[in-house]
Every structure is written in structure tokens, then in C-alpha cells.
Chains A and B, each alone.
Chain A
Amino acid sequence: MTRLHLIPLAPLLGAAICLVGARALRRTTVHVVACGSVLSAFLFSISAFVAIRHGGELREDAFTWIAAGDLRVGAAFLFDHLSGTLALVITGVGFLIHVYSTGYMHDDPSYARYFGYLNLFTGSMLVLVLADSLPLMFVGWEGVGACSYLLIGFWFHKQENADAGRKAFLVNRVGDAGFLLGIFVLWTFTGALDFAGLRANVDALGAPWLGGFSAATWAAALLFVGATGKSAQLPLYVWLPDAMAGPTPVSALIHAATMVTAGVYMVARLGFLYALAPAVLFAVAACGAATALYAATIGFAQTDIKRVLAYSTISQLGFMFLGVGAGEAEAGLFHLVTHAFFKACLFLGAGSVIHAMGGRQDVADMGGLRKKLPLTHATFLVATAAIAGVPPLSGFFSKDEILAAALHAHPALFAAGLLAAACTAFYMTRLYCLVFTGECRADAHVQAHLHESPPSMTIPLVVLAALAAVAGLPRLHFDPIVGGASVFATVVGVFVAARLYWGGAKPAARHFSATFPRLYSAVLHKYRVDEIYDFLLVRPLKGLAFVLHEVMDRRLIDGLGVHAGPQIASGLGWIARRLQNGDVQRYAALMAAGAAVIVYLALGGA
């Protein structure tokens, strides 16, 4: 199949239909169009993948997009093993999330708008992944940024949701600036923007440039700044936890299938560039390891079911970067795929729980949901085990590959990764225990309302749980030492969490937070990073904006530049109007006075 453009085009068309016809279309039409378009993209991807199963790649030059001087950018698509795998994940998991949404968003008045955005999101991500050049990739990159803004702020009538959407967009913009600058550097030195051209001219980047670093180092570092924004790594991760403001299936889509995986994909796609910049690659691995550990510890104390999962995503993305940065892009991408399955399953499971709890998200209200939501419970348990790294589920194998690569790169990276794996097992077990074991802590009204979700929601859960369980099977090998260490870490994490939280938080858990109130409060408030950013960045910028607006714009530009001219003219007009006031008798008086002067002068000025 050479018509690769059909893959992103299908969901984009679906988005156009849903958004244009938002008022006219019936619900059935909307979800048939939305799910059908993603399903057809999935089928196109499968047929393309079958075509490259023996190696090779598919390329399609759709049209010349930009032609200006030396610059020639084609709208070209590339379907190789890397982008093909991601396209399958995006469309496959995306399709399941679409199906799930038909149940979850059943009563929402903006049904068509929701599915339009969802399709647009999927389409943008497919453009990003299948693009054969950096500018086209940037189109998808910005597309997912815009869609995340639209979907996080989907229920925009609540101020905090709109704020969360704006925060996601702005933080992403910071990263996007780095990405764009990286593209400029690459173009300046190689004169190429498509991946084949970049790969052919990559030697031109070896020359030393600013500050003694090579151009490759600069480009790789700048592009990685873009990746930290999109993939929520330190220090630009702050938007992702707030992204929970959106509907839960959107969180699943952002966290599993689209958006946050873009940075990992980009670094893997430009592996030949990063190979020239080993320092940056090490920084990528270090950043990944630090993020994995840092976000995992925040997950300890969060009480919002979705927030725990959000920090878990940040942590798992750190694992992916650790793998990619340690030189094993394959390992990072493998984890990306397995993570897509179990994280989508976890988020959709959380959505099912929230649905049953009538919108409550605090784990303090939950507990004992095992009997009430048997299917959700079973799938959530499988996904929890997978993310915690219990063999032989998928997470064990993918995490093992990453840890092996980290050990190969630097022992400290391995230690951080292992610790983060133990933390992952801890907070996921804690979440599972608080939600599903023990007795329900909600009030009687909520308890009476508890019910398993409709099949449109449970079937995707079952499919995803099955995938999360078996996705590791294609890559069965593992390093016995690393595997043993990782299993040990998992067992420790699970065991400690189960001791503390099985059947509800035990006194020992409360005792800990009471003994170390400052530490607990710091973790609970996410190390107060949002407050620090607010103080260091947001307030100075707001102050600057105030000065520019009030002093520069209002006083100087409006006052002196814009309003001064009309004011002078109207002042002069005011004087002239005193003379020309329409009073005939005053005209007559002036005329008589003038005539008298003329007569006086005519008579010789005597």
C-alpha cells in the first residue's frame, strides 16, 4: 500500500465531519463516523505493516508543501518499522479509547465536539509519527499540542479546567520553541529537513560551533528541550498532572497513545543525530532516570486516582527516555508500546471507577470496589501487575530491557531506575489496595449507585488488559541478573504497599505521615514546584506584561502616538467652533466691525 496519507487523513476527515456537523449530526452518526475513521486508519496501518513485514519501508510523496529558494519541503510520509509500530499503537489503542468514550461521554451535551477533537488528536499524532521531514513532524507536534489544549479544557465552563488547558499549551510552547530552534540549526548546517537527507549530511554537524560544542550537540539538546515539553520530563512536566482536568478517556489518549510519546519517538527517530552527541544522549538518560524517580515519589502521597496515574505516566516516560538515552532506542520504544497498553487500561479502568462513583476521584471515598466492579477490577489488577513489572506480564520485559541498557551505560542510572521500579510497584499497589480492597468508604447514596460500566466501556478494558499481559511475549529474552534485581524491587514495592494499605490505609501508613509531616506535606504538594515556577516565572512575566500593557501600550503608544493627533485636531476645532457657532447676529456684529475697520482704513486711517 503506497497511499500512506490515508492513515492520518481518515481521522482528520472524521474530525472535520464531526466538528462541522456538530449541531446537525445525531449521536449515532457521530460515533460511527469517529470510531469508523480511526478503525479504518488502523486497518490501513495493518495493511501497510503487512507490506513491510520482511523489512524495508514505505514512502509516499504526497505533494510539495513549501518551495522557496533552496528550501524544499515535501508533504512526505514514511512508514518503516518504527513509525509503523507507533501508528498501530496510536490507531489501535486510539480506537479502543474512542469506543470506550461512546459509553463514558454518553450524557455529555457536546458529544460531537468531543469526538471531533478526539479524531483531530489522533490524526495530528499520526501526522507527527508518519512525517518524513521535521517541518511536517512539527505540524503534528503542534497539532497534538492544540488538541490537548482543546480536550483538557473540554469542560471549559469551570475555570480550573480552562486554566489547566492553558497551562498545558503554554508549557508545551516552551518546549516547542526549543524544537523549532533545533530544526533551524539542522537546516543551517545540513541544508536538509527530511530524515534521509539529514542522515546523509549528518557529518556536516560535527563541526564545532557555539561555545565549543558541535552543531550536532546544539541541535540534539534543543530538540530534547522540545521532547521534555511534549513528553512531560523534568523540568517541563508540570502540565501533565493538571491535564487530569479533561475527561478521563482524554487522559488515556494523551498518556498512552498520543502526545507524550511524541518526544520519545522523536529522539528515537533522530537516533543518528543523537549518536553524534553522546553528552546529550547521556543527559537524556539522566533526565529520564531523574524524572522516573522524582515523579514516582510524588505518586506516593497523591489521593486523586487520576493524579497517581498521571505521575505514574511521567515516571514511565522517564523510563523510556532512560532506555533511549542509554543507547537502546528499541528498549525505550518497546516500553512505549507496553506502556500504551497498560496505561490506557489503567486510565480507562479509573474512568470506569469514576463513572461508577458518580464523578468522585478521591481514593479516600473508594475501597472495596472489587465486588461491585468485577470486570474493571480484574483488568485494573492485570494492568497494575504489568506496570509494576510482575513477570511474565509485558511491563516486566520492557522495563528489564531498559534497566539492562542503563546498567550498560552507567551504574548510577541503573540504581535510579531500579529504585524507581520499586517505587512504581509501591504506588500502584497502594492505589489498587485503596480503590479495590477493604470496605467502601463512600456515603450510602454513592454506594447505592455503584454499578459495573456498560459493555462499550468494559470491552476495551478487557482487550487492553489482554494486550498488557501478552505484549511482552514477542521479546521474551531477559538478562537474568537485571531481571532478578527488577523482580526483587517489584516484590519489595508490592509487599510494603500491601502491608500498609491492604483493605484501606493502615495506622502504620498514617503514623509515617505524622512522624515526618514536612516530608509528607512536600510530597503531597508535589514538592511545591508549581509554586516555585509561579514565583520565578509566572509572576515576573505577569509584572512585565503589566508594565508593557499599562505603561508602554496605554501611556506611550496609545497616549502619545494614537490619541495625541486627534486631540490636537479636536482642540483646534474647538477654537474654530467658537467663531462658527450658527448665531447670525454674532456674524452680523463681526461683519459690521469688519466693515467699520475697512471704512476706517479707506478713509486714510485718520
Chain B
Amino acid sequence: MIPTGHFLVVAALLFAIGAAGVIVRRNVLMILMSIELMLSGGSLTLIAFARHHGDVGGHGLAFLVVAVAAAEAAIGLAIIVALFRTRRTANADDANLLRDE
């Protein structure tokens, strides 16, 4: 039986890789994908603790996260498409219309 700690390490790595992607990448698609990674890290933590405690509540919560992630991806992609259509770019730094300098 794999110890719970291992799951948590993998989950933390996933979350950290996702967070780093969100901070570092400039392409909006990449940022969106990195957010998905962070969500996966969170879901994995939930499932690991559900197994550790023998409680299915964690699984239910993980399904909720997946559903929310799907919705988020749908809206996020729609925004990216709209952005690309108006600005001809997918770079986050170019979407700076409201900045004053």
C-alpha cells in the first residue's frame, strides 16, 4: 500500500508546477493549462485524504472540482478566443488597454 505522504508529495509538485506556470508563462493558453494542473494537485490531495480516512466525501469533492474545472476551461477558452479576435494575440502582456503607461 502506497503511503499517503507520497500522494501528497506528487500533489504538491503538481500544484507547484502549475503555480510556476501561471507566474512565468505569458501565453494565455499556457496559463489556463497551468491552472488546470494546480486544480489537479488540489483534487489529488482531496482523494489522498479520502483514502487515508476511508471517507467518500473527498471523492465527491474531487468530482465537484472536475466539474468546476470544466466550466472554467469553457469560459476561459471563450475569453481567449475573444481576446485573440480583437487583439490578434494570445500574449497576456499585450492585453494592457486599461493600464496608464
Contacts and interface: CB of A to CB of B under 8 A. Distances in A.
Is the contact region of chain B dominated by helix, strand, or loop, or is it mixed? helix
Interface in A578-606: 581-585, 588-589, 592
Contact of B99 (A582, A585, A592): A582
A566 to B, nearest CB: 18
Contacts of B93: 583
Nearest to B23: A589
Contacts of A584: 92
Most buried by A among B19, B24, B26, B93: B19
Contacts of B86: none
Is the contact region of chain A dominated by helix, strand, or loop, or is it mixed? helix
A585 B92 contact: yes
Interface in A555-592: 581-585, 588-589, 592
Nearest to B99: A582
Contacts of B22: 585, 588
B98 A582 contact: yes
B23 A585 contact: yes
A585 B26 CA distance: 9
Interface in A453-483: none
Contacts of B96: 582
A592 B19 contact: yes
Interface size class of B (residues with CB under 8 A): 10 to 19
Interface residues of A, number: 8
Interface string B1-29: 00000000000000000010011101000
A588 B23 contact: yes
A592 B98 CA distance: 25
A409 B85 CA distance: 106
Most buried by A among B23, B24, B26, B99: B23
Nearest to B26: A585
A588 B19 CA distance: 8
Contacts of B98: 582
Nearest to B22: A588
Contacts of B92: 584-585
Contacts of A585: 22-24, 26, 31, 92
A588 B92 CA distance: 13
A588 B23 CA distance: 6
A583 B92 CA distance: 9
B40 to A, nearest CB: 17
A573 to B, nearest CB: 12
A483 to B, nearest CB: 92
Nearest to B98: A582
A81 B96 CA distance: 88
A584 B28 CA distance: 12
B90 to A, nearest CB: 14
B9 to A, nearest CB: 15
A588 B18 CA distance: 12
A584 B26 CA distance: 11
A210 to B, nearest CB: 67
B16 to A, nearest CB: 9
A474 to B, nearest CB: 86
A582 B23 CA distance: 14
Interface string B38-61: 000000000000000000000000
A582 B26 CA distance: 14
Interface of B: 19, 22-24, 26, 31, 92-93, 96, 98-99
Interface of A: 581-585, 588-589, 592
18 contacts: A581-B99, A582-B96, A582-B98, A582-B99, A583-B93, A584-B92, A585-B22, A585-B23, A585-B24, A585-B26, A585-B31, A585-B92, A588-B19, A588-B22, A588-B23, A589-B23, A592-B19, A592-B23
Given A585-B92, A589-B23, 16 more contacts: A581-B99, A582-B96, A582-B98, A582-B99, A583-B93, A584-B92, A585-B22, A585-B23, A585-B24, A585-B26, A585-B31, A588-B19, A588-B22, A588-B23, A592-B19, A592-B23
The 7 residue pairs across chains A and B that have the minimum distance between CB atoms: A589-B23, A582-B99, A588-B23, A592-B19, A585-B23, A588-B22, A592-B23
